[in-house]
Structure 1
């Protein structure tokens, strides 16, 4: 992992707050998540930045050096990003869209393309919704498909509108030959007896949310495999582990999707754009088209389609 501007912001936030707990609150992170990120930053830089004490976090001499440099660097970087963002926004025919791994990107691109056919439309994907939200706030993209968990909501950014499309349950992802695949739904307790494949913790709070859910049961799953996307699917397909997935995940040969009994975990799909951006005047129509596309695609995931039939009161689509 390379040092990034967001890491410097984290270091400065801890220095200003004087404790990891207060810094985590200001950054809308959990304290364990912030502690883990700080350890990775310290490993990259090659030394401890703070002395952790009961009274708070005090910079080490090495940390004072890093903090001083970070405070000198960040204003210039922020100014550069703001100036370039204003310059880019001057060309209203450019529409740049970012997306996490979610089922809404295609529907958003189709909606924008239909409503603004003359626009120069591009997209890029990224794992972290927070990084995309920062890009949106800075004007590096005009719209984004984001996601979070209802009890770990994304932070608000000035000038950015967040629109919830749907909150859907999280399902189990299993090898097709796994005994649990024969069941209509899977209990979390049964999953916790298996090895898990999990996403990396940096940049996204999905893993934290999974861990919090498991902590309620008093058990911690064995998670020997860290992977994302296609690699995670291949680990599950090989029969090495189980995992969790979005309800709209489309089954591929070798894996199956099953609802979790009791629906203990949820995921929220969000569309976002700038208040002063080119999509704002078309927002209502874009939302309608994306929702229609989402609903039309739900039958492509048979497990989710069955779940929706059985749980009509939980169809929380706007």
Structure 2
């Protein structure tokens, strides 16, 4: 984890409210989520920032030093972001759209949708490991639209003016070394994975790891994560037989890795497209969602494991039509 502007805002919010509970409410986060994030920030910076007691959260001497610098930096950063956003919109006759995405196969669909409506536009995008900062960027006008996601019971906190439109809810599968004893099976039971070592992305404030662990525990299992990695390194650890990992159902098998459904579909992930209701892409929201659904269907078609799951009746175990699509739901808060 690297220190980000949002982390400085969290620290300042805790100091201003004197309470993690009140700070979490002002930031539209959960108190446990903010508390976990604070621990990671303190670990990154090298010391405790607050003393927590019955009277609330009080900055330590080290915390006061960090707060002094954060309060000096944030106004300048806000002015820079505001000025650059205005310049980006007004400085050129060519439209410029900024997109964000978590690791999901939907970003291409959003770009296709924008190209269809604005063929002359300049489109830039960036990836993010967690959905929470992407939603925050939409709130403050730093992004025009984003692909985000969440899990049952750990839904993304709504932010003022941000529309979160579901695209599809799909099961979570498991990635195994191709030579693994379970790779020959059509689906894998959690019981069969009880003694496995796992590789997982580092915990972040979208609470996906927490959802995984809680679900495993609720079903009487454990997830023994011994490696924390993402991207290519995660795949190498699985391929080389050092661990197994959870993955999206649309993950395309690569040489050395087998993807299998988990019996009973205990874990689910929901893809969403998000934009600001007062933003430049609000009028295209419905089109963005449909293009994202098209992109997801294409990704599902490229995944043999997903297709086998569907043929076995998996789509009927979802909460919608065929792929668990939740059409028509919009979560938004007026500013």
- Taking structure 2 as the reference length, the TM-score comes to 0.85
Runs of at least 5 residues in structure 1 that lack an aligned partner in the other structure: none
Q: Which residue of 1 aligns with 2:82?
A: 82
How far did 1:294 drift?
2.0
User: What per-residue deviation string (whole Å, max 9, x for no partner) do you get for residues 132-177 of structure 1?
Assistant: 2222222222111111113111122223222110011111111111
CA 1:274–1:86: 2 relative to 1, 3 Å: farther
For the pair 1:67 / 2:59, whether they are aligned, the reply is no
**Alignment-derived partner of residue 15 in structure 2:** 15
State whether residues 273 and 288 of structure 2, in contact with CA within 8 Å, keep that contact through their aligned partners in structure 1: no
Residue in 2 that maps onto 1:159: 161
Q: Residue 229 of structure 1 aligns with which residue?
A: 231
Unaligned runs of 5+ in 2: 328-335
User: Do the aligned partners of residues 54 and 270 (structure 1) sit closer, same or farther apart at CA in structure 2, a change above 3 Å counting?
Assistant: same
Counterparts of 1:104-115 in structure 2, within 5 Å, are 104-115=106-117
Could you tell me how far 1:60 is from its partner in structure 2? Answer: 2.0
Give matches, 1:289-304, under 5 Å. 289-304=291-306
Of residues 164-173 and 221-230 in structure 1, the stretch that sits farther from structure 2 once superposed is 221-230
Report the RMSD for the aligned CA atoms in angstroms: 2.4
* Residue 261 (structure 1) shift: 1.4
Which range moved further: 291-300 or 113-122?
A: 291-300
Q: Equivalences for 1:112-151 in 2 at 5 Å?
A: 112-151=114-153
Summarize deviations over 1:223-264 as a string: whole Å, max 9, x none. Answer: 221111121111101111011000111111111111111111
Residue 180 of structure 1: SS of its match in structure 2? coil
Aligned to 1:220: 222
Shift of 1:303: 1.3
TM-score by length of 1: 0.90
User: Residues 100 and 216 (structure 1 numbering): CA distance in 2 closer, same or farther, change over 3 Å?
Assistant: same
Secondary structure of the residue aligned to 1:224 is strand
Question: Corresponding residue for 1:206?
Answer: 208
Shift of 1:38: 2.0
Cα gap change, 1:216 to 1:303, in 2 (>3 Å): same
- The DSSP-based 3-state class of the residue aligned with 1:80 is helix
Contact 2:151 2:208 in 1 (8 A): yes
Stretches of 4+ moved more than 6 A in 1?
A: none
The answer to whether the 8 Å contact 1:86/1:139 transfers is: no
Q: Which residue in 1 is equivalent to 2:330? A: none
Range 245-254 or range 184-193, more displaced: 184-193
> In the alignment, does 2:101 pair up with 1:99?
yes
In 1, the alpha carbon distance for the partners of 2:60 and 2:292 equals: 50
Alpha-carbon spacing, 1:28–1:141, altered in 2? closer, same or farther (3 Å): closer
